Structure 1
């Protein structure tokens, strides 16, 4: 008996089994292939002949029509994604490694765009390469903002404004292009002068710091001297007031004594004159040193 005869014998013997397998088991397996699961950090998109019929299938077990009628695309939507942009490493010919600021200086820029997928259907359907498009938008807005601002504000007080502008500008473009993403943050990894001119910028920053230091020291010295001057002025004023008061009181006393003397003189001129003469001699003699010499 040949091999072909063996096959014919088996097929005749198990014909019912094979028919049952083809009619029941194979279709059952085909229908069971429509079950699928979605993870906790995922959202699923169901397409029917290429058309999206459901774009936010939540985590858990679900069913869709088996291939080729419907297919499932799973997207990680809750996890945070990021795109790194370093202009010194970009290979595009139209992008220079050092960006030009509004006042003609050069800066070295590297940043990271963090985002999440908020609308899986739009993210899946808007572009073949949504991340590439998102990166090009971020590059374009960064070049525009750096070229519109001077280098001093970018390197000092303008970093926060820079981050906020890039975040809002990218988000606006994603809404317009319906990319289905939400920009969570922009992190500036590097924003500094190129190595060739960094020393000059460091000297400028040092000079600015020294200038502020000298200004603060001068203000402190000024405050100290003003306090000393106010103290001396108050002291001089108090001394003058005390001296003026003493002179006034002395003058009032002399005036009262003169009036009393005048009244006494009017009452007894000769006696008063003699008393004044004696008082004057006493005052003069108290100031005079007398020497008594015995005559031979």
Structure 2
């Protein structure tokens, strides 16, 4: 190969390398800046295909919504109750120039500085609130205030927008957990005793009312039964009287037969009766004539 051809190949390779180093792509989920000899010459490069000088350097950062888990820390409430709080931060690069100048483009450095500011904010907010407020009562309000206050400094100093700050877990210190659980158990037992007492009281009231209603129902039933029985006896007496008035002799005969049947039902019965008494009137004469 001639010297001219060799030089041409070298020139082609160098040209390709320069072209390769001059083309770069920024995706829609990235933020990018351009540096020349360590000096920023272009910030917040838009997504797409771009060209640069071969010696220029392009630094790209994740522009999506990121999550930073904070290390659990201890905070005191206004009653001086110590709590161990585990939280996380949702953040996103908003001003890439400020972000690079403040953190050097290092995500871990950004999260560390952001976490420190959030910890200070949580410490201040917890110190102004009661245990009930931070655990359940006003937690949403607390998180909103912290997010708003932290976001101002984060945007100004770090170029970061804090989207949300949330508490994952709030615990008592290990040494206090046992006493807290014992107190909670005592409170629940007290509530249980109150509920049982109220239930017993209501049961007695309901039982007394049921007994009263039963007594009233039984009395009404007995009254109605006696009235019906009296009506029946009256009707029976009226029927007997009517039957007797139609044929008194036949009525006397039937009554005598019933008396004989009842009197002579037992084989071992012994009766001492005057043979001339009216009891044997129909035995002597079917017509009952003596």
Is the shorter-chain TM-score for this pair beyond 0.5, marking a shared fold? yes
Do 1:101 and 1:147's aligned partners in 2 also have CA atoms closer than 8 Å?
yes
Unmatched segments (≥5 aa) in structure 1: 1-9, 88-97, 243-296
Alignment partner, residue 197 of structure 1: 176
Alignment partner, residue 74 of structure 1: 60
Q: State whether structure 2 residue 45 is matched by structure 1 residue 62.
A: no
TM-score (norm 1): 0.57
Q: State whether structure 2 residue 83 is matched by structure 1 residue 107.
A: yes
Deviations 1:33-80 (A, max 9, x none): 11113346433223456235240432x53322221xx32111112253
| CA shift in 2, pair 1:17/1:141, >3 Å | same
Q: State whether structure 2 residue 118 is matched by structure 1 residue 138.
A: yes
User: Cα RMSD over matched residues?
Assistant: 3.9
* TM-aligned CA deviation for residue 19 of structure 1: 5.4
Rounded to whole Å, the distance in 1 between the matches of 2:131 and 2:185 is 16
Do 2:154 and 2:161's aligned partners in 1 also have CA atoms closer than 8 Å?
yes
TM-score (norm 2): 0.58
Deviations 1:5-26 (A, max 9, x none): xxxxx9xx61x34654676653
Rounded to whole Å, the distance in 2 between the matches of 1:225 and 1:83 is 57
* TM-aligned CA deviation for residue 134 of structure 1: 0.4
Q: Secondary structure at the match of 2:60?
A: strand
For residues 161-200 of structure 1, the aligned pairs below 5 Å read 161-177=141-157, 179-189=159-169, 191-200=170-179
* TM-aligned CA deviation for residue 131 of structure 1: 2.1
Q: Secondary structure at the match of 1:57?
A: coil
Rounded to whole Å, the distance in 1 between the matches of 2:157 and 2:184 is 42
**Number of matched residues?**
218
Rounded to whole Å, the distance in 2 between the matches of 1:71 and 1:175 is 25
Deviations 1:149-197 (A, max 9, x none): 23344345455454444434333332343522333442424x2221112
* TM-aligned CA deviation for residue 233 of structure 1: 8.9
Q: Secondary structure at the match of 2:84?
A: strand
Unmatched segments (≥5 aa) in structure 2: 221-290
Alignment partner, residue 237 of structure 2: none
Q: 2:189 aligns with which of 207, 210, 214?
A: 210
Alignment partner, residue 262 of structure 1: none
Rounded to whole Å, the distance in 2 between the matches of 1:41 and 1:210 is 55
